Amino acid sequence: MAKKYSFDASNKIDSFDVFNILPEKEYDAITELASILCQTPLAAISLIIGNQQYYKSCYGFTSLPDPIDQSLCKYTFNQSNPIFSVEDTRLDNRFKGKSYVIDDPKIVFFTGIQLITPSDGIIGVLGVYDHEARILSEMQIKSLQLLANQVVQLIELNKKKIELDQSEKKYKSMIENSIVPILFSDPITERVIDANKAACELFGY
């Protein structure tokens, strides 16, 4: 039985700054590869920040006009199975009246894989889309799952990098504002290369 992960619209994805929605080649490479492997013209990585859905990467289109309460991804989140697929949105009462089905980009087929992080649960979806009804093969589903895992690894790596940067800034701030004189010297020449405010005032640097 698949593990049940909860989706909370107040998740902390914005705490690790994935909301830098600038194009990043690592994510773009994944959506392009997903499109190629699944033979679909469209693919996307969507992330949930607060109660909004944002696209980290899109292949074949810009974005979909789908608030989270109306989106295909909503149904991907709200189930225990990490895979959600719609063979033909035109025949599905949940989607057949939506603008993205009736008008451009005219989404007929969708398969999404939950993006699940160890600390935050479900934080997004890797999805592939087509203008025609279809079903993915088992191999294509497996490939999509592997790519979703790669997206999660990139997100976690980004999170750790930001946390490290924040720790370094905090550490530097503590040293700079410490009332205790602190000197930094070259280990070979023993020449002073830096000093905090207290050391500068004490030694006249």
CB atoms within 10 A of CB 126: 28
- pLDDT level of residue 6 (50, 70, 90 thresholds): very low
Instruction: Name 112's bridge partners.
Output: 84, 127
CA distance linking residue 114 with residue 94, whole number of Å: 19
| Least reliable range by pLDDT among 40-44, 125-129, 148-152, 176-180 | 176-180
Question: Is residue 43's pLDDT more than 50?
Answer: yes
Separation between Cα atoms, residue 199 and residue 187, nearest integer Å: 18
Pick 58 or 71 by higher pLDDT.
58
Nearest CA-CA partner of 158 in 19, 65, 9, 31: 19
Question: How distant, in Å, are the alpha carbons of 48, 91, 118, 148 from that of 11?
Answer: 8, 33, 13, 19
Helical (H) or strand (E) element with 157? helix 138-177
From CA 23, how far away is CA 33, in angstroms rounded?
A: 16
Record the pTM. 0.74
Q: Which two tokens stand for residue 56?
A: 């980290």
**Strand, helix or coil at 169?**
helix
Instruction: Kindly report, residue by residue over 142-173, the tens digit of the pLDDT.
Output: 999 999 999 999 888 887 877 777 777 776 77
Q: Using the predicted structure, report yes or no on whether residue 21 has a pLDDT greater than 60.
A: no
**Please, what CATH class does the domain formed by 13-162 belong to?**
alpha beta
Neighbours of 4 (CB within 10 A): 9
In whole angstroms, give the CA distance from residue 110 to residue 62. 16
- Mean pLDDT is highest, among 4-13, 49-58, 90-99, 192-201, for 90-99
Q: Take residue 99 and report the two structure tokens written for it.
A: 């603008």
